[in-house]
Structure 1
Amino acid sequence: MLNEGNDIHTNENICVFVCFQRRHPSKMKAFIDCVATRKRTSDSEPQEVVAKQVKLDEMMAAGVGRRVPQSKLDKLVTFICDGHHAHSVVEQPAFKDLITTLNPQSHVISRPTLRIRIQEAANHMKTNLMSHLAKVRYVGTTTDCWTAHQQSFLGMTVHWIDEHTLERQSAALACKRLKGSHTFDILAAAIDDIHCQYKIRGKVVRTTTDSGSNFIKAFAVFGEHSQDPEESDPDCEEPDTNDLVDAFSILEKDTRLEFQLPSHQRCACHLLNLVATTDATKAEANDTYKRLSRSSFAKCQGLWNKTGRSYVAAEFVQDQCQLQLIRPNQTRWNSTYMAIERLLRIIDDKGEVAIRNVCEEFRLKM
């Protein structure tokens, strides 16, 4: 088929040549020169190459001699921070071998250098955030404290509304160690210090926290008192803060306490948690319900304790029920509901036999 196509193309060229010679014999020499020049030009041009997908090993081999800027290798800082990797990953032989394979001329940064780069990146990010917050008129902050691995921490985030897009913007301000007890003055000092660091002390409209007595006392002593009716709801149970009346005496005893906190906003999720836990206990005023409730939840608590303290027990539950039990969490308002719902789901799917086998294995009364 290919030869037939070439023959047809050749015959067409001959016909054109003969016709031109008959009608324009005087211009025949110029025509021949033009055709010859065109042929030489087409022969000198490179032929179109069909694209071919490069194999991975060929690409790696081609990139070995190519130099990668050290600035790109410094993106390890982003890799370490975003992935929450240990700093020691840059010292692992396999990681070094990976980098040198990609670029033999490069040098992996050392662990001390990595720490310095991370600190520099953090300072740069903080500077950019402060520059952005300087253009914002009003912000709100949220804060919480917790204990993990016998160490206490306080975290804070900031939120504001973009005046152009009217979208809510958020950023993390701090996650710092708290030493000592979580007393109201320690919390007030930490919150005020973070506000001052980012120069938003006079811009914070409200700070949202949970309903812990230490937070409530800190804002009652050092915060701006709002006239919001939600703050003075007579039906809302307040923690015991009788010692708040001695605020002036506290300030007189220690003149260093010059903290300035904004108005306080209680976390709605934490209030829902109180509704679902504290207020729900009022139903136990009925003796019959109280007896049944305590008996049932005591058995459930036994199951939760066993699976939470022993991996062997958790694996046994998984084998028998094909599901793991959900343990209630005091900081999640719906955790008790989800835990009970999981038990009922196991009974519906696997029957009471599965729960009975688990109770017998753990020596718990059904």
Structure 2
Amino acid sequence: MSALKHFVFPDHAPNSGTVKAKCKYCPTYISGNAKTTSNFVTHLKRKHRDIFIQSKSEDGTQISQTNISNFTKSTSVSKYSANDASQMQITDALVSFVAGNLTTLSVVESPEFNAFVESLNPKYQLPSRKHLSSKLLYQKASNIQSNIKEKLHSAESVCLTINLWSNRQMKGFLGITGHFILDWCMKSIMVSCKRFKGKHCAENIRQEYEEAVACYNIADKITNIITDNASNMTKAFDFSLPGYTCNHEEINSKSDSEDENDESELEPIKLDFPEDDLPKHGRCYAHTLQLVVRDGLKDASPHLKTVISKASNIVRYVRKSINASDILEGEKRLQADNTTRWNSQITMICSVLEVSEEKLNKLDTIKVTGYMSVNYYKNYA
């Protein structure tokens, strides 16, 4: 019989190297090697002679030195190899989960998450945090980029929407989204979203745009580019060239009226310029509408301006006051206005009117509205 059955081994004993096992009859830990288990037999002979003799008589043979790996196979589940199809499939799903939900990489080190994965599939080996961050995520990003390149290569033409913004830490980001039709279906793909360092000038914007386009080799497929109305965006995507800002008829008419001997002016060169091959720059309709609404509110009646101002004060007060938030608990969240959303003011006023008058009256409206009753909003909103 085997001497190893008299010892308690770790759940995941290694197949090679030294392992420590606890004796079932005393608190002693015995070290043994996967190839040599004589230490376990010696311990039984010296410390537990009666058990050793009893086991020998029951079995009728000497206690054998069974390999540790063979013994632990019955107590632990063998794991998938790194190249196993199931291991690779689950790992790919894990990477998509982490990247798609912006989950922290430390999730693979969480004991609760490890127990969850173990209950789903005991054979799966979770990757380490270092392996996840240094290799798996980069491989996933490379595969996604290759897929995007393949789709853009199959598209006949591509339209781009480009936006530049800053987060709360005042770090700039440039986002480029591609839109095209493939297999009679409308597709939208994030072409680029990266940190934008330096001045937000037209030259830097154009450089980042050209790098993104060159990465996917779609310069000849772009037909339209949509941006907001900012001057740096407008200048960055002005594809007109010097000497071609006016049409050919105007150039020819001017050349006929000028003195032929006047060498101070360059004669217009008649070239068949491929204007249709250059992207056409358009301005975002939603942003243009916002500018119209903003200019219109500047000329609004005093009553409307007062309603917007007081409603905005209520929202700001509720968002900063713990007591006010407790009073409005259970109600829909009050919506603040936004300078870049053309309908945000009406949305804000509607959110205030949806709150019951009883709860609004409990707020410290004297500080917020200047002795103005809630009925004022209902009459003029």
Q: Same fold (TM over 0.5)?
A: yes
Amino acid at match of 1:196: A
- Cα 1:99–1:335 change in 2 (3 A) is same
Deviation per CA, 1:221-253, whole angstroms, max 9, x where unpaired? 6799999xxxxxxxxxxxxxxxxxxxxxxxxxx
2:348 to 339, 361, 366: 339
Q: 1:363 to 1:277 in 2, by over 3 A?
A: closer
Q: 1:100 to 1:294 in 2, by over 3 A?
A: closer
How far, CA to CA, are the matches of 2:95 and 2:240 in structure 1? 40
What is the aligned counterpart of 2:140 among 95, 117, 121? Answer: 121
Taking a change above 3 Å as real, the CA distance of residues 324 and 226 of structure 1, as seen in their structure-2 partners, is: farther
In the alignment, is residue 210 of structure 1 matched against residue 224 of structure 2? no
Q: Distance in 1 between matches of 2:241 and 2:153?
A: 22
Aligned-pair CA distance for 1:160: 0.7
State the match for 1:188 in structure 2.
206
Q: 1:314 and 1:265, CA in 2 relative to 1: closer, same or farther beyond 3 A?
A: farther
How many Å apart are 1:322 and its aligned residue? Answer: 3.0
Taking a change above 3 Å as real, the CA distance of residues 171 and 354 of structure 1, as seen in their structure-2 partners, is: same
Partner amino acid, structure 1, of 2:351: R
Q: What does residue range 96-245 of structure 1 map to in structure 2 within 5 Å?
A: 96-115=114-133, 116-150=135-169, 151-162=171-182, 164-165=183-184, 167-220=185-238
CA contact (8 A) 1:219 1:264 kept: yes
| SS in structure 2 at match of 1:153 | strand
C-alpha displacement of 1:363:
4.8
Q: Cα gap change, 1:340/1:67 in structure 2, threshold over 3 Å: closer, same or farther?
A: same
Paired residues of 1:158 and 1:173 also in contact (CA < 8 A): yes
Q: Which amino acid aligns with 2:124?
A: S
Distance 2:293 2:236 in 1: 26
Following TM superposition, by how much is the alpha carbon of 1:144 offset from its aligned partner in structure 2, in angstroms?
1.0
Shift of 1:304: 2.6
SS at match of 2:124: coil
Distance between the aligned counterparts of 1:298 and 1:340, measured in 2?
A: 10
The count of residues paired between Structure 1 and Structure 2 equals 257
Matching residue's letter, 1:71: M
Tell me whether 1:329 sits opposite 2:338 in the alignment: yes
Distance in 1, matches of 2:324 and 2:238, equals 45
Cα distance in 2, alignment partners of residues 76 and 340 from structure 1: 44
CA contact (8 A) 1:91 1:110 kept: yes
Which residue type is aligned with residue 117 of structure 2?
A: I
CA contact (8 A) 2:317 2:368 kept: no
- The structure 2 residue matched to 1:70, chosen from 87, 98, 110, is 87
Does structure 2 conserve the Cα–Cα contact (< 8 Å) formed by 1:207 and 1:262? yes
Moved more, 179-188 or 66-75: 66-75
In the TM superposition, residue 104 of structure 1 has moved relative to its aligned partner by 4.0
TM-score (norm 1): 0.62
- Aligned-residue offset at 1:138: 0.9
Cα gap change, 1:72 to 1:136, in 2 (>3 Å) = closer
Equivalent position amino acid for 2:363 in 1:
V
- What does the per-residue CA deviation read over 1:167-220, in whole Å, with 9 as the maximum and x for residues that have no partner? 211111111001123222221111121111111112111111111222112123
Determine the C-alpha separation between the residues in 2 that align with 1:65 and 1:102: 13
Correspondence 1:357 to 2:362:
yes
**Cα distance, 1:271–1:226 mapped onto 2, change above 3 Å:** farther
Other structure's SS at 2:154 match: coil
The Cα of 1:313 is off from its aligned counterpart by 5.5
Deviation sequence 1:1-45 (CA, Å, 0-9, x none): xxxxxxxxxxxxxxxxxxxxxxxxxxxxxxxxxxxxxxxxxxxxx
CA RMSD of aligned residues (A): 2.9
How much does 1:113 deviate?
1.2
Q: How does 1:16-27 map to 2 (within 5 A)?
A: none
Which of 257, 274, 292 aligns to 1:275? It is 292
SS at match of 1:109: coil
Amino acid at match of 1:340: I
TM-aligned CA distance change 1:226 to 1:136, over 3 Å:
farther
Q: Distance in 2 between matches of 1:226 and 1:327?
A: 44
Q: CA deviation at 1:279?
A: 3.0
C-alpha spacing 1:180/1:97, structure 2 compared with 1 (3 Å): same
Structure 2 residues not aligned, in runs of 5+: 1-75, 81-85, 247-276, 373-381
Paired with 1:103 and 1:113, the residues of 2 have a C-alpha distance of: 20
Structure 1 position 276, deviation (Å): 2.1
Per-residue CA deviation, residues 52-71 of structure 1 (Å, 9 max, x unaligned), is: xxxxxxxxxxxx95866321
- Alpha-carbon distance, 1:356 to partner: 3.9
Q: Give the deviation of 1:112 after TM superposition.
A: 1.8
The equivalent of 1:47 in structure 2 is none
Q: Is the 1:192–1:261 Cα contact (8 Å) retained in structure 2?
A: no
What are the ranges of 5 or more consecutive residues in structure 1 without an aligned counterpart? 1-63, 228-259, 284-288
Distance 1:314 1:192, change over 3 A: farther
Richer in helix (by share): 1
Change (3 A) 1:302 1:361: same
